[in-house]
Amino acid sequence: MEDASLQARLRAGRQLMEKARRIVAFTGAGISTESGLSDFRSPGGVWDRYRVVTYPEFVSSREARQEYWRMKSEFYQELLHARPNPAHRALARLEFTGRVERLITQNIDGLHQVAGSSDDLVIELHGTNRRATCIGCGRLWAIADIQARLEVEDYDPSCEKCGNPIKPATVSFGQAMPEEPTYLAFQAARRCDLILVVGSSLQVEPAASIPAVAHGSGAELIIINRTATPQDHKATLIFRETASEVLDILVEG
């Protein structure tokens, strides 16, 4: 696809937005790094400082659970201070046009809801760091309640009801994707006429297939990401600028 000036691409993007009647937004880590949150996979990110603890390890090893919770505690401190940026707020404003099918996110920070996007609209494919759950009975807690217990429980909290380990309500490596959110995300992809990919490298499956399914079902594809993705060749428009500077203009129209 031949590139054009930023202003020309913004004009083309606004035209696509104005024409679309069933919009899906698909967001990844790149939208939240603008709010000061770590990118797990980039150099210097969380996975450079901590090893990956798989779900089977978490279930079977107290030592692995302690390591996992230490990593999550560091991320929690970032989460406490993070605030939605203009890109999050732009997507929340877009909801009020009544043309947004779903806001599908790979992120676990909850910043879309903090920005004003409704829980009914947001699909958190990989769960959320704002809650914790018992892996046995499914009981839920606010993550702040579990953080308060960590120091006295040596980074291995357990459920008072059934005794099983408590884990952040996120999807870990080796853990099955949640069936209903995944189904709803692909359903929305098949229905939409425009999909906005914001801050995702489109490399983590099965989530990365969602824009491809939308495109294959006839939707226009706009990619806003600082680096190249495997699906760039399918995009009608590509922006390498930051999500905040692009979305704020596209949504304002």
Going by the DSSP 8-state scheme, the letter that residue 29 receives in this structure is: H
Three-class secondary structure of residue 216 per DSSP: helix
CA torsion, points 70, 75, 77, 83, in degrees to nearest 10?
-170
Residue 167's DSSP bridge partners are 133
Going by the DSSP 8-state scheme, the letter that residue 141 receives in this structure is: E
pLDDT at 37: 78
Quickly count: other Cβ atoms within 10 Å of residue 51's Cβ: 11
Query: What CATH topology corresponds to 1-36+84-126+177-253?
Result: Rossmann fold (3.40.50)
Tens-digit pLDDT profile for residues 103-136: 999 999 999 999 999 999 999 999 999 999 999 9
Any idea where the domains of the chain sit in the sequence?
1-36+84-126+177-253, 38-81+127-170
Shared fold status for 1-36+84-126+177-253 and 38-81+127-170: no
Q: Which residues are catalytic?
A: 126
| Rounded Cα–Cα distance for residues 92 and 86 (Å) | 10
pLDDT at 87: 96
Quickly count: other Cβ atoms within 10 Å of residue 116's Cβ: 14
Query: What CATH topology corresponds to 38-81+127-170?
Result: SIR2/SIRT2 'Small Domain' (3.30.1600)
pLDDT at 220: 97
- List Cα–Cα distances, 13 to 4, 37, 236, in angstroms: 12, 27, 9
Judge whether 46 and 40 are in contact, CB under 8 Å.
yes
- List Cα–Cα distances, 104 to 147, 210, 216, in angstroms: 27, 9, 18
Upper half-sphere CA count for residue 210 (Cβ side, 13 Å): 36
pLDDT at 76: 84
| Rounded Cα–Cα distance for residues 22 and 35 (Å) | 28
pLDDT at 159: 96
Q: In the structure encoding, which two tokens stand for residue 81, read together? A: 């201070």
Cα 213-126-108 angle, rounded to 5 deg: 120
Query: Model's pTM, two decimal places?
Result: 0.90
Residues of the chain with pLDDT under 70: 1-4, 38-49, 253
pLDDT at 241: 94
Q: Quick check: bond before 206 cis, omega within 30?
A: yes
